[in-house]
Amino acid sequence: MFDALAKWFSFGRDNTPRSEVKTKDKYGNDLTLCAKCKVPVVVQGAVIKCLNGCHMGDIDYTRDESSCQQNNYNPLQIQICSKCGGDGKEYFKEDDAWCAIVCAQCNGQGVFHLRKYSIEDEQALARVLPLEVNAEGWARCPKCNFQFQVSDKNVWLDGRHKRCGQKLSLPENYASL
């Protein structure tokens, strides 16, 4: 009974969940409202950021684990469940009343914690491949064939190529810039 009553209060006038209610700002742009505090949220890819700072119900969607040696430079990232939209519940209409059940895809969490680089072939990503660096400091990744400058920290981080996740090693005679 309480869940049904809470669900009744959390729906908009057009019987759509509040997290899906769209409104317009003073310039006519579409805005999505936060399910917790009903203020507009900013959606950037898989990141949902409430303008009020409530983090959509105690889940900080903006914080990712940073790359470090402890996690083998493969950080954990938060991805919002595509089935429930981060709410953790699936809503359905039954006899003119809205009901909610726990989302089967995310088990009510609303998010998945996934590694940045897909580990479809974990052993291949763990194997360190040697880089061939030319005189100008350019190298080509042996896995994804992407050419980059070794001194560019936006392309690789402490031995892992950021684009494909492959571990790479510099030649012993290469002097870092």
Residue 174 domain flag: no
Domain region containing 109: 2-115
105 lies in the same domain as 140: no
Distance from first CA to last CA of the chain, Å, rounded? Answer: 66
User: What confidence tens digit (pLDDT) does each residue in 12-27 have?
Assistant: 444 444 444 456 666 6
3-class secondary structure, 57: helix
**pTM score, whole prediction:** 0.45
Backbone angles phi, psi at 35, to 5 degrees: -70, -25
Residue 68: predicted pLDDT: 64
57 lies in the same domain as 107: yes
Residue 151: predicted pLDDT: 84
Number of folded domains that form the chain: 2
Residue 45 domain flag: yes
82 lies in the same domain as 141: no
Query: Residue 109's pLDDT band (boundaries 50, 70, 90)?
Result: confident
Beta-bridged to residue 77, according to DSSP, are 114
User: What confidence tens digit (pLDDT) does each residue in 116-167 have?
Assistant: 766 666 667 778 888 888 888 898 988 888 898 888 877 877 678 887 888 8
104 lies in the same domain as 160: no
Contact (Cβ atoms closer than 8 angstroms) between residue 149 and residue 176: no
22 lies in the same domain as 82: yes
Residue 4: predicted pLDDT: 43
Calculate the average pLDDT of the chain.
69
Single out the residue in 94, 115, 136 at which a domain terminates.
Answer: 115
pLDDT above 70 covers a percentage of the chain that reads: 49
Beta-bridged to residue 30, according to DSSP, are 24
79 lies in the same domain as 161: no
Residue 177 domain flag: no
Looking at residue 46, its amino acid is A
Residue 103 has pLDDT above 60, yes or no: yes
106 lies in the same domain as 139: no
Residue 137: predicted pLDDT: 87
Residue 28 has pLDDT above 70, yes or no: no
Residue spans of alpha helices (H) in 16-167: 55-58, 122-126
Residues 6+ apart with CB under 8 A from 27: none
Residue 51 domain flag: yes
25 lies in the same domain as 74: yes
Sign of torsion, CA 16 17 20 24? positive
